[in-house]
Amino acid sequence: MLHIEGLRKSYGEQQALLGVDLDVSEGEIVALLGPNGAGKTTLVSIVAGLRKADGGVVEVGGVDALSRSREVRRMLGLAPQDTGLYPVVSVRQNLRLFGELSGVRRSALRQRVDEVAQALAITDLLDRQAGKLSGGQKRRVHTAIAFMHRPRLLMLDEATTGADVETRGHILDLVQRLAEQGSAVLYSTHYLAEISSLPATVAILDRGRVIARGGVAELVSAHAEPVVELAFHGDPPVLADLAAERVDGDRLRVRAPDPAALLVAVLPTLPPGSLAGVEIVRPDLESVYLALTGRRYQEADAAGAREPADEGGGAGVSAS
């Protein structure tokens, strides 16, 4: 449904996309991950025709999105990162306007407004002025707009930012339902945890490139290993033959494809009474990200927010 190849984009000196390749099939939900400044918003903006690409291929449903943007926009629903609503008219009017502009027939409009409102639990808000809603309520309405015409390609840019648990649940449910009807979904988020509640595959965007693509389990087993963390009373001992990393002063982290075997081997070698605790850290997307970039997801976020030119390394597990 969405085919992107070699997509490049820079804003003057600032390079945002350096050759992005990405495919999303019908019915597939792709979680687009990446730290601040990775290029997620730039990517969806180009697909939606809001920004011009410098080069590359973007096709939606086989239609060239760069030259036939209007045709592509008929198939596409976008909830941009920044909340965009007309604050001085009602929620219903907002949904109706964008529904109508997206091609929902006027006779079907009322019913569609009700359906979407119900799915996102904003029925009670329909006749309120959009500008007078709370931030999270606005976010729901903002996201609801993208669903109005049941787009064949749905792109949500950090839709769940600022949303409470319930709202997040509603949004994820609706995303899943749309995908079940055959739509492709590109879902950018900073919450690694919410991806596990979706039947989603993952694309990790970092500094303008897709550095990993696949299913969650697949990526985790390919790129990350479990880690055993040993906590000690006082200074940790030196472990022979093991690449252990000292963290927080009195703890050691050891990568272990087989944590049980590692523990059996290591525990007898420790000085009696020195061990304070043992923790097995199962790999997750966070570890994948760490393994691929040498940066922690959250730290990369913080760094990206300050200065995009922070060259790798820094934090993280010592190479083994």
Partner 1 sequence: MSPRASWAIMRHEFRVMLSDPSTVIFVVLIPLLMVAIMKELFATALRAQGYESANGSEFGIPAMAVAFAAFGVGYAGFTFFRDHGWGTWDRLRATPVSSVDIMVGKVVPNVMITVVQLLLLFGLGGPLFGLVVTGSWLALIVLILVLAVSLSAFGMLVTSVARTMNQLNAVGSVGGMGLALLGGAWVPVETMPGWAQAIAPAMPTYWAMEGFRKVILESGGLDAVLVPSLVMLGFGVLFTVLSAWRFRFEETKVYYG
Ligand X SMILES: Nc1ncnc2c1ncn2[C@@H]1O[C@H](COP(=O)(O)OP(=O)(O)OP(=O)(O)O)[C@@H](O)[C@H]1O
Residues that bind partner 1 (CB under 8 A): 45, 48-52, 70-71, 73-74, 76, 78, 80, 82-89, 93, 97-98, 100-103, 145
Q: Does residue 80 touch ligand X according to CB under 6 A?
A: no
Nearer to partner 1, 109 or 263 (CB): 109
Give start and end residues of each alpha helix (H) in the chain: 40-47, 69-75, 91-101, 106-119, 135-147, 165-180, 192-195, 216-223, 259-266, 285-293, 297-306
Residue with tokens 């022979």, as numbered in its chain: 240
Q: List the structure tokens of 77.
A: 């629903």
Q: How far is the CB of 19 from ligand X (least distance, A)?
A: 14
Site residue total, ligand X (CB under 6 A):
13
User: Residue 121 binds which one of ligand X, partner 1, Mg ion, none, with CB within 5 to 8 A depending on kind?
Assistant: none
Place of tokens 């990405």: 22
Q: Is 160 in the site for Mg ion (CB under 5 A)?
A: no
16 binds ligand X (CB under 6 A): yes
Integer Cα distance of 199 and 264 in angstroms = 36
Rounded least distance, CB 81 to ligand X, Å? 5
Residue whose pair of structure tokens reads 């964008």 in the numeric block: 98
Q: Is 188 helix (H, G, I), strand (E, B) or coil?
A: strand
- Among 20, 40, 224, 262, which residue sits at the site for ligand X (rule: CB under 6 A)? 40
Give DSSP secondary structure letters for 143-162: HHHHHTT--SEEEEESTTTT
- Across the beta sheet with 184-188, the strand order is 76-79, 153-157, 184-188, 29-33, 200-206, 209-215
- Of 20, 37, 58, 78, which one interacts with ligand X (CB under 6 A)? 37
- In order of 72, 175, 237, the CA distances from 160 in angstroms are 25, 12, 44
Report strand pairing: 76-79 vs 153-157: parallel
- The correct pick among 15, 81, 93, 274 for binding Mg ion (CB under 5 A) is 81
Report if residue 11 touches ligand X, rule: CB under 6 A.
yes
User: How far lies 45's CA from each of 82, 158, 311, in Å?
Assistant: 12, 13, 26
Smallest distance, Mg ion to C-beta of residue 61, A: 24
Which residue among 4, 20, 41, 303 contacts Mg ion (CB under 5 A)? 41
Our CB check for partner 1 shows the closer of 51 and 209 to be: 51
Closest contact distance (angstroms) between CB of 132 and partner 1 is 12
Is position 39 an interface residue for ligand X (rule: CB under 6 A)? Answer: yes
Instruction: Select 110 or 306, whichever has its Cβ closest to ligand X.
Output: 306
Query: Which residue lies nearer to partner 1 by CB, 51 or 213?
Result: 51
Pick what 152 binds: ligand X, partner 1, Mg ion, none; C-beta below 5 to 8 Å, kind-dependent. Answer: none
